[in-house]
């Protein structure tokens, strides 16, 4: 039995990096953002799994990965438009890159390093606001639920 988390994190990074933009600029994707990170950016965050489930001769895992999207606004010019626009692009990109079972997009089967991606669903998402000394940081957290089968 292998841990699918690294494979899923790599798939999400490959799916998003270089493909999400806002205001004419690419939005960087990190697992660990640099100390003086520029906004906006996407963070591939925490992962949790329900554990393994046997299916015929293979093991399956249901893994949830949290994506965090952050935008920064100076003083009182805050708007939810940037964070919501970026999150819409992220959700659309993830939907297009999965096998298509849950959204019937007819995309190809996705094979990860040690697993096959069976299904991807966008789970719950929330928006939060953080006040700083110079303005506001808006964050959106999106749950990406993946079902993978061990090769």
Q: Tell me the pLDDT band of 109, cut-offs 50, 70 and 90.
A: low
CA dist., res. 116 & res. 88, Å (int): 25
Element (H, E) at 120: strand 115-131
Residue count of the chain: 151
Average pLDDT over the chain reads: 88
- pTM of the full structure: 0.88
Q: Are strands 25-26 and 21-22 parallel, antiparallel or unpaired?
A: antiparallel
> Would the pLDDT of 24 be above 70?
yes
| Residue range 65-83, pLDDT digits in tens | 999 999 999 877 789 999 9
pLDDT given for residue 9 in this prediction: 96
Q: What mean pLDDT is predicted for residues 82-107?
A: 76
Q: Which one has a higher pLDDT value, 109 or 135?
A: 135
pLDDT given for residue 104 in this prediction: 46
- CA 149 from chain centre, in angstroms, equals 19
pLDDT given for residue 60 in this prediction: 85
């Amino acid at each position: 039995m292998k841990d699918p988390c690294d494979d899923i994190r790599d798939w999400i990074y490959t799916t998003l990096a270089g493909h999400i933009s806002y205001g004419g600029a690419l939005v960087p994707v990190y697992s660990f953002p640099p100390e003086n990170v520029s906004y906006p950016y996407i963070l591939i965050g925490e992962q949790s799994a329900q554990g393994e489930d046997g299916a015929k001769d293979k093991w399956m895992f249901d893994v949830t990965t949290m994506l965090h999207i952050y935008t920064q606004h100076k003083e009182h010019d805050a708007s939810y438009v940037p964070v919501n626009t970026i999150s819409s692009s992220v959700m659309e990109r993830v939907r297009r890159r999965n096998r298509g079972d849950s959204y019937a997009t007819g995309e190809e089967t996705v094979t990860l390093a040690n697993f096959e991606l069976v299904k991807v669903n966008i789970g719950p998402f929330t928006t939060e606001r953080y006040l700083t000394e110079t303005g506001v940081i808006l964050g959106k957290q999106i749950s990406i639920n993946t079902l993978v089968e061990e090769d």
